[in-house]
Amino acid sequence: MLPKTISYSSKTKEIRITVQPVYLEDQSKPIENRYVWAYIVNVSNESKKTVQLLNRHWNIIDAHGQTQEIRGPGVVGEQPIIGPGDCFEYTSGTNLNTPYGFMRGDYEMETEDGELFLVGIPAFSLDSPHQKHTLN
């Protein structure tokens, strides 16, 4: 079980996305510029229709502004079907070569009657204890 941290949440068309990033000190190697995070995503269907998560799109941005774009079917090898009032939760991860960054994205979803729509994933920060803080 990962420790819980700050969560980020947004809602599009009655689909709520909540994300909790967790810095993984034991998998990171700051001396080698390798910083690793897990993130727990909860997809909650607050609508009256069954939906299916078809595709994902992520932008992962490091502290230098370098962006990695990820697109693909489903999440963690699944294209979950989520009934009204139900939720789907999964854990995934990412690594950066900088001690902080952020992620944002969207999911392509389809209702039971064939309507395709995008659900925004809230932007969330990837913070490690190794980032340098400065006062402006």
**Predicted confidence band of residue 6 (pLDDT cuts 50, 70, 90):** confident
Q: Say whether pTM exceeds 0.85.
A: yes
The CATH number covering residue 59 comes to 2.60.40.1470
Residues 21-33 have pLDDT tens digits of 999 999 999 999 9
Mean pLDDT within 114-125 = 97
- Domain count along the chain: 1
The span from the CA of 73 to the CA of 130, in Å, is: 33
Q: Which of 19, 14, 20, 18 is nearest to 83 (CA)?
A: 14
Query: What pLDDT, on a 0 to 100 scale, did the predictor assign at position 130?
Result: 78
The span from the CA of 11 to the CA of 16, in Å, is: 4
Q: Is residue 133 part of a domain?
A: no
SS3 86: coil
Domain residues for the domain of 54 are 8-126
Q: Is residue 107 part of a domain?
A: yes
Q: Is residue 2 part of a domain?
A: no
Query: What pLDDT, on a 0 to 100 scale, did the predictor assign at position 129?
Result: 82
Mean pLDDT within 71-88 = 97
Query: What pLDDT, on a 0 to 100 scale, did the predictor assign at position 135?
Result: 44
Chain CA centroid to CA 8, Å = 9
* Residue 48 clears pLDDT 80, i.e. is over it: yes
- Mean pLDDT computed over every residue of the chain: 93
The span from the CA of 38 to the CA of 114, in Å, is: 32
The residue ranking higher by pLDDT, 84 or 132, is 84
Residue with tokens 């595709």: 55
**Predicted confidence band of residue 131 (pLDDT cuts 50, 70, 90):** low
